[in-house]
């Protein structure tokens, strides 16, 4: 064994010392470096996992928000259309009523106007019937009331 070590140039005391060194170093590394590092990594991993979880939730939330937004927009659109339709119908109804009212008023006014016109016409003719003889008489008085004409007139009338 000693010869084999010697052939390969291995010093078993050095080897033992190196093995002891290794385990010592391993122990030191494990004790003072590996554990805190592991803890840091674990903590970081958890944080990342949590981050992912949060991200997924946030995405879900965003999707839900988008869905809700779409729903609200759709509803708003429907409501808007409904309101517009209702307003249009109301406007149409108001216009129709207004036009009917105007037509009714127009008819009433026309009837009233026609009646008034007829009354005025009748009154005018009645007034004329009364006034024309007076006017003609006055006219005749002014034009014919002449003593020179009178003699001739009497002759003609009574000789007829």
Partner 1 sequence: MNEGKIYSELIYKLFKEGKVNFIDLVIKKIKNEGKSHILRDILSYVLEKYYEEKNLLRGKIKLAFKEDLEEVINLLEKKLKKRVEVEKIEIDKSLILGGIFLSKNLKVDFSLKKILKTFIS
Q: Which residues bind partner 1 (CB under 8 A)?
A: 132-133, 136-137, 140-141, 144-147, 149-151, 153-155, 157-159
Instruction: Output 36 or 133, the one with its CB closest to partner 1.
Output: 133
Contact 136, 144 (CB under 8 A): no
Instruction: Output 59 or 137, the one with its CB closest to partner 1.
Output: 137
Q: How far is the CB of 142 from partner 1 (least distance, A)?
A: 10
Q: How far is the CB of 119 from partner 1 (least distance, A)?
A: 24
d(CA 33, CA 41): 12
Instruction: Output 51 or 133, the one with its CB closest to partner 1.
Output: 133
Q: How far is the CB of 132 from partner 1 (least distance, A)?
A: 7
Instruction: Output 67 or 155, the one with its CB closest to partner 1.
Output: 155
Q: How far is the CB of 144 from partner 1 (least distance, A)?
A: 6
Q: How far is the CB of 124 from partner 1 (least distance, A)?
A: 17
Q: Is the dihedral of CA 107, 113, 115, 117 positive or negative?
A: negative
Instruction: Output 84 or 140, the one with its CB closest to partner 1.
Output: 140
Contact 47, 41 (CB under 8 A): no
């Amino acid at each position: 064994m000693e010869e084999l070590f010697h052939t390969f140039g291995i010093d078993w005391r050095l080897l033992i010392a190196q093995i002891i060194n290794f385990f010592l170093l391993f122990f030191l590394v494990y004790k003072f470096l590996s554990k805190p590092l592991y803890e840091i990594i674990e903590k970081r991993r958890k944080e990342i996992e949590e981050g992912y979880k949060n991200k997924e939730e946030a995405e879900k939330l965003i999707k839900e928000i988008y869905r809700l937004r779409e729903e609200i927009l759709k509803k708003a659109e429907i409501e808007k259309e409904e309101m517009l339709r209702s307003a249009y119908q109301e406007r149409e109804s108001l216009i129709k009523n207004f036009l009917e009212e105007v037509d009714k008023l127009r008819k009433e006014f026309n009837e009233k106007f026609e009646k008034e016109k007829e009354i005025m016409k009748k009154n005018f003719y009645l007034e004329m019937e009364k006034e024309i003889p007076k006017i003609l008489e006055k006219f005749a008085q002014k034009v014919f009331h002449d003593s020179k004409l009178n003699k001739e007139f009497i002759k003609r009338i009574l000789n007829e």
